[in-house]
Amino acid sequence: MIEQHFAPERRRRLTIKRGKERVVSNRHPWIFAGAIHAEHGPEDAALADLVDPEGNRVASGFYSRHSQVRLRGLTFGGEELTPELIRKRVRDAVRRRGHVFRDGTTNCGRLVHAEGDDLSSIVVDRYDDVLVVEIANRGVELLRPLIVETLREELSPRGIYFKNDLPVRALEHLSTEGEWEGEGEPIANVLEHGLKFRVDPGEGQKTGFFLDQRENRQLARDLSANKRVLNLFSYTGAFGVYAAAGGAASVENVDVSAPALEMARTNHELNGSEATYTIADAFQYVRRRDGSEFDLLICDPPAFAKSRHDVERAARGYKDVNLFAMRMISPGGLMMTFSCSGHVDLDLFQKIIFAAALDAGRRVSFVRRLSAGSDHPVSIYCPEGEYLKGFLLEVR
């Protein structure tokens, strides 16, 4: 059944515009409509071949007629796109994560990270025996059984939850309802570095948990002994739980979402630790200037820039919250500050932190650069995959 999508006559044929060949030689997986001269073949194809003006195939991949990214390149040059190639990419991605789970203290992590694993538009996260899949493209959705079958063979999960909540799915004419194929409920109790967390992929943000911060949370634990810790934009309290485990003197979790803080309470309880939970808008919270001081402050806001047009507004938001947050840090205290907006690059983020430090009137040093964990690889051909960046700062 699935195999038929790979037959030459079932594929869309895209002819590249003369002069646009460079798009392919750079191996960037996103081939935009603007680089395409003509399209032939079935409109509802899952796959397409890109050919040069002489008719030679130069790339093949997932096709979507609804997206400006007409082709999500999987193979370039002469390499054949077969079902086995996709199966192998999924299998290889899963197996590359062995190191995350090896010592048994962690049973959650990202198994497939889209372009970083040469599988554009596919994300697969593992939460113990539950897998959560996010598909952002129509071609991938049509080939879903192939991916699911490979995941089941490799991992025998209790179930797979299809999150289906990416806004782009509506543009791709795909269902935006979550789907659960499995036994029991799609809720998992996971271990991360030996700490316990409850994850509810159906209700939670992203796929349920911010797996990309695992290594940074471990760093927070190492830095927390005897510190008063403020966890701004705490979500379900993961940084707070690590800080408490690291011997923090106190932990305060602040988030605007009441359900997220309810889960934060559950997570602290699961680990036998205490914290306070403040439902507040972080921008207002950091302005209250009631003299409260913290020795380690974590600031991990949501992506303020959803598109290129938002970058300026986002930069103001990041500067604002960082500036006021810095003023709450005790002399010589530490701050872990992040941006997960793909459109705000490291250079811009550094400038924002510079401006915030200047206006906060504090002497600030970079101690370390921070990024997503090793299960979130970034393709050298698709640097857009690098979205999470951060700094560990010393604030004197």
Q: Which stretches of the chain bind ligand SAH, using CB under 6 A?
A: 205, 210, 213, 233, 235-236, 238-239, 255-257, 260, 281-283, 300-302
DSSP tag of 152: H
Smallest distance from ligand SAH to CB 238, Å = 4
Smallest distance from ligand SAH to CB 382, Å = 24
Smallest distance from ligand SAH to CB 212, Å = 8
Smallest distance from ligand SAH to CB 332, Å = 24
8 A C-beta contact, residue 63 and residue 45 = yes
Smallest distance from ligand SAH to CB 215, Å = 11
Active site residue 340: yes
Nearer to ligand SAH, 302 or 383 (CB): 302
Nearer to ligand SAH, 67 or 337 (CB): 337
Nearer to ligand SAH, 24 or 108 (CB): 108
C-alpha R_g of the chain:
23
Nearer to ligand SAH, 46 or 356 (CB): 356
8 A C-beta contact, residue 216 and residue 391 = no
Identity of the amino acid at 379: S
Smallest distance from ligand SAH to CB 302, Å = 4
Q: Torsion over CA of 135, 140, 143 and 149, rounded to 10 degrees?
A: -40
Nearer to ligand SAH, 247 or 302 (CB): 302
- Calpha distance 290→313 (Å, rounded): 27
CA angle 120, 123, 127 (to 5 degrees): 165
8 A C-beta contact, residue 129 and residue 158 = yes
Report residue 348 CA to chain centroid gap.
20
- Collapsed DSSP state (helix, strand, coil) of residue 140: helix
Nearer to ligand SAH, 157 or 237 (CB): 237
Nearest CA to 144 among 72, 66, 86, 75? 86
Nearer to ligand SAH, 250 or 257 (CB): 257
- Calpha distance 325→356 (Å, rounded): 9
8 A C-beta contact, residue 189 and residue 173 = no
Which residue spans within 193-261 are E strands per DSSP?
A: 195-199, 228-232, 250-255
List, as one string, the DSSP characters of 72-119.
EEEEETT----HHHHHHHHHHHHHHTHHHHTTSS--EEEEEEGGGGT-
List, as one string, the DSSP characters of 264-280.
HHHHHHHTT---EEEE-
Smallest distance from ligand SAH to CB 213, Å = 4
Catalytic-role residue among 108, 299, 340, 382: 340
Which residue spans within the chain are E strands per DSSP?
A: 12-16, 30-32, 36-40, 47-51, 57-63, 69-76, 108-113, 122-127, 130-135, 159-162, 179-182, 188-192, 195-199, 228-232, 250-255, 276-279, 294-299, 329-339, 364-371, 389-395
Q: Catalytic residue numbers? A: 340
